[in-house]
Amino acid sequence: MKLAKVCESGYPDINKIQELILAGADTNQVCDEKNIFDRVFLSFLNTGRQTPKRNYYKAKKIKETIQLMVAHGWDVKRFGMSVMNRFLFSTYDRNTFDLYRFMLQYDLAESPEDYDEVLEGIGTEESYLRCCEKDHGTENLFYALYELVEAKKDGRNFESIEPYYDAVGMKIDRILYFDESDTTVQKEAFTEYNADIGFVCGDKVLILRKGVHILFMNDRIAETPQVDLSETFCADVIGQTIQSVSFGHKTVVKGTMHYGQPTIMIELSNGKKLKFSHNFGELPDREAQSRFWIE
């Protein structure tokens, strides 16, 4: 039971775990009827001061360890889902996303419904970040994470989904509106929209959802129906490179109610800024109308 003891320690030694596995330790041991790896990876990730470089190193070690476990008979279908659930509170950065995508390469589920608990956890954290923390950058990382797992559940191309910041440095070739017709409405200071908008960058597309969420992917370019909106944005956007993606927040207060209005800002190489938001709290029945404008 040496492996179990190392896994149950407060500061698990990943190198020691790898050493024991290579020496023939049973990767399917249980401790108190639980998978011995169920907590070890989160503990390892959260040990000591975290920096982007350190988070990457730790995520890399976790991937190497899981690959080693699988190669030595670890029952990934029995234990993999619970281990993946532990990654939810790991690093709150790109490494969280990469750990989930890494785990989803394996056949984890007996049925698609097995992913429901994972999706519930991700959705709860995303909602908390949106409504309570107002951290829309991390919220949209979790939004992409939810889309990633849901695509796996539905049997779609989950590997095409990436976080929004992978679009930085890409040139916008054209702009698509994923609807049967152009339902945008031009107002004095902004344009209202009612369908997803896709900024095509080579063979990938940055998606601005009508609910004011953002993600990057590569399998929606051929999707129909679609309308080309490139002329609507003109040279202010077409041919420009995405320099940065950032977020803002406005709270509308009505009596005791607080309504959050997130803003997504895309800065382009010509100095122009594309902004996307909605007017939640300004319409009846908790409705919202999405809008964009160029500054």
pLDDT for the residue numbered 11: 87
What does the pLDDT average to over 232-244? 94
**What is the longest distance spanned by two Cα atoms in the chain?**
70
Residues 6 or more apart in contact with residue 284 via CB below 8 angstroms: none
Mean of the pLDDT values across residues 234-257?
Answer: 92
Q: What is the pLDDT of residues 175-202, one digit of tens each?
A: 999 999 999 999 999 999 999 999 999 9
Q: Report whether pLDDT(84) > 80.
A: yes
3-state secondary structure of 173: coil
pLDDT value of residue 120: 97
Q: Which residue has the higher pLDDT, 103 or 220?
A: 103
Model confidence at 50: pLDDT above 80: no
Residue 87 burial (CB < 10 Å; 0-12/13-18/19+)? Answer: buried
pTM as predicted: 0.93
- Sketch the domain layout of the chain as residue ranges: 2-163, 165-294
Structure confidence by residue, pLDDT tens digits, 137-159: 999 999 999 999 999 999 999 99
Residue 161: predicted pLDDT: 96
H/E stretch holding 195 reads none
Say which residue, 142 or 217, is predicted with more confidence: 142
Q: What is the mean pLDDT of residues 245-250?
A: 96
Rounded mean pLDDT of 211-238?
91
Structure confidence at residue 191 (pLDDT): 96
Whether the pLDDT of residue 49 is over 70: the answer is: no
Instruction: Tell whether the model's pLDDT for residue 53 goes beyond 70.
Output: yes
Cβ neighbour number for residue 201 with a 10 Å cutoff: 21
